[in-house]
Homo-oligomer: A and B are copies of this chain.
């Protein structure tokens, strides 16, 4: 494919000579004839050494080596689009319904549904058009799934869960397990029946081995376009607003409500029954115990507005030195008082 064609398709401007491009790869791994990209400034130092023949850059970066350049306002997006050009079908597709799949008679499948070997589809399940069900997936009774959703190998969708369109559920994810609800009775605990469900809205992405518990009553709700990474725990009755993104191993305790457009780092813990406001950013490994205003960036354990955490952090580094200074001050004062007597 001509570099000029790629530039046109990704909405960028070509600088330098036109070329035949055979593929895309990272700065260090790209070969002559391939295009590469700089979307993270951290890697700028590698640009001079790339063997690629062309590069995707932002409007300002000065290229230290004579490559053909696609200039764009958003190199990240242009890279994504270029990858799509070279990998129009990034993974093997599930095709047809494998004879080893076990599909209840009362299940209703839309047109073009594909079911991989060994998948189990329970009673009264409804699958929209072109839904893909991976190998060994379990979809329990009464689940509803919208058009074009993909459930990858080994995921478990428990009964009565509702999943929207174009959702991707990655391997090993467990959707709709019983929430962790127990009433203390004397020294023991009685299980509180979890009779609600989980609703996952359109275009959400649920990571591998991530768990989303069903609600006690009502529904645990994952909003439109939400992206959940791997090994995340979402407690019962949690609600996550649209287009919120959460990195791996984060845990959200029961009944917490997360707004829209929130960005949450990895291994964050959020207590139950609080609100995370729209547009907040939460640094990795933070422990969030209360509500902050919309748009606040917080960080730390416990989480505080980031400048506050950074100030404490800076003081902490000086703490051993500070301790010494105080001892010095005490000694000098003693001296002063001693001199006065």
Residues of A near any B CB (own CB < 8 A): 24-26, 29, 40, 42-43, 74, 76-77, 79-80, 83-84, 86-87, 90-92, 98, 100, 102, 116-118, 120, 122-123, 134-136, 138, 140-142, 152-154, 156, 158-159, 168, 170-172, 174, 177-178, 180, 182-185, 187-195, 203, 205, 207-209, 211, 213, 216-218, 225, 227, 229-231, 233, 235, 237, 243, 245, 247-249, 251, 253, 261, 266-267, 269, 271, 273, 284-285, 287, 301-302, 311-320, 322-323, 325-326, 329-330, 332-333, 336-337
Contact = CB atoms under 8 A, between A and B. Distances in A.
Given A120-B136, A217-B29, A267 B251 contact: yes
Given A120-B116, A158-B171, A87 B320 contact: no
Nearest to A104: B117
B92 A174 contact: no
A337 B314 CA distance: 30
Contacts of A247: 180, 253
A92 B159 contact: yes
A253 B266 contact: yes
Contacts of A42: 273
A85 to B, nearest CB: 10
Q: What is the count of identical protomers in the complex?
A: 3
Given A189-B225, A208-B177, A235-B248, A102 B83 contact: no
A211 B230 contact: yes
A174 B320 contact: no
B287 A287 contact: no
A266 B22 CA distance: 43
Contact of A182 (B116, B227, B302, B317): B227
A158 B235 CA distance: 27
A303 to B, nearest CB: 11
Contacts of A249: 233, 249, 251, 269
Contacts of A25: 217-218
Nearest to A225: B188
A313 B118 CA distance: 53
A29 B227 contact: no
Find the residue from A25, A87, A120, A253 having the highest chain B CB count within 10 A: A120
